[in-house]
């Protein structure tokens, strides 16, 4: 991914926030195998753990799980078993998880560039979006009979459900909001059976990179045109991206 200085987001807490607000990431691996393609990707919801929330440098650890029947799972298990790493079940090669908020993506027509288009006409369409790329080495919890895997998967499923129920759905149990669904609401034996059909993925992050491509490369007049143009569409996504363009434009002006 291209990280232009005017688009790149250097603040790690901002990137962590984007991940937590958009936990459905795309796990991409490049592992040579006789049983599946070299490059594979799967949509997986993740939990991001950070020891010190006040830290401006800590990247954190991503926890997720994937269906055992997924072809990517089979390659991950194969690679974990064959790994020569000093740490058991840790892959030798890094993996990538991409997080892209769907509400942060929008087409930008040249018609919105009210400053440059009338004068030179030298404008083209583009897309505005934000994204975070998380890199690290993954530990695979593939043995559903081991105490380590059982503990990891039990915590992972419970934490992920709680995050989605409270943060995504808003089921906090406060005021007139209903309470969240919990894993303990389902029969224990049912959960045990489901747990045998997933594997756990724990990624110790060593790189966290992100960008907010929100028309910062354009002149102030053109940025204002994008803000007004997107807002005038009257759509939810248009309103959200309009606000982001305004926010990033103000940030750029404050630094100039």
DSSP string, 122-166: ----EEEEEEEEEEEEEEEE--TTSHHHHHHHHHHHHHHHHHIII
- pLDDT 10s digits, 120-171: 888 899 999 999 999 999 999 999 999 999 999 999 999 999 999 999 899 9
DSSP string over 20-75: HHS-EEEEEEE---SSS-SEEEEEEEEEEE-S-TT-SS---EEEEEEETTSHHHHH
Write down the pLDDT at residue 117: 87
Q: Exposed/middle/buried for 3, CB within 10 Å: 0-12, 13-18, 19+? A: middle
Q: pTM for the full model?
A: 0.93
Tens of pLDDT, residue by residue over 190-231, are 999 999 999 999 999 999 999 999 999 999 999 999 999 999
Q: What is the pLDDT of residue 118?
A: 85
Measure the CA–CA gap between 189 and 113, rounded to whole angstroms: 60
**Does the pLDDT of residue 22 top 90, yes or no?**
yes
| Domain spanning 12-109+126-218: CATH 2.30.110.10 | yes
pLDDT score of 85 more than 90: no
Of the given ranges (48-57, 105-114, 185-194), which has the lowest mean pLDDT?
185-194
Report the pLDDT value the prediction gives residue 175, as an integer from 0 to 100: 86
């Amino acid at each position: 991914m291209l990280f232009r200085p005017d688009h790149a987001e250097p603040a790690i807490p901002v990137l962590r926030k984007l991940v937590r607000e958009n936990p459905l990431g795309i796990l991409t691996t490049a592992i040579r195998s006789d049983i599946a393609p070299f490059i594979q990707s799967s949509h997986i919801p993740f939990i991001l753990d950070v020891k010190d929330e006040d830290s401006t440098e800590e990247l954190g650890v991503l926890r997720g799980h994937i269906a055992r029947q997924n072809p990517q799972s089979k390659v991950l298990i194969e690679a974990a078993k064959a790994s020569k790493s000093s740490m058991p079940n840790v892959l030798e090669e890094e993996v990538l998880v991409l997080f892209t908020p769907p509400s942060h993506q929008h087409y930008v027509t040249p018609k919105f560039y009210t400053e440059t288009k009338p004068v030179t006409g030298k404008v083209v369409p583009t897309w505005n979006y934000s994204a975070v790329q998380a890199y690290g080495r993954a530990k695979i919890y593939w043995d559903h009979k081991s105490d380590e895997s059982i503990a990891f998967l039990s915590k992972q499923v419970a934490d992920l459900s709680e995050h989605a129920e409270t943060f995504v759905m808003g089921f906090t149990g406060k005021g007139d909001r209903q309470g969240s669904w919990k894993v303990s609401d389902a029969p224990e034996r049912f959960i045990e059976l489901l747990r045998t059909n997933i594997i756990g993925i724990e990624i110790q992050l060593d790189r966290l990179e992100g960008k907010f491509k929100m028309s910062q490369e354009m002149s102030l007049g053109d940025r204002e045109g994008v803000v007004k143009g997107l807002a005038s569409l009257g759509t939810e996504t248009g309103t959200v991206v309009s606000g982001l363009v305004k926010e990033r434009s103000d940030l750029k002006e404050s630094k100039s």
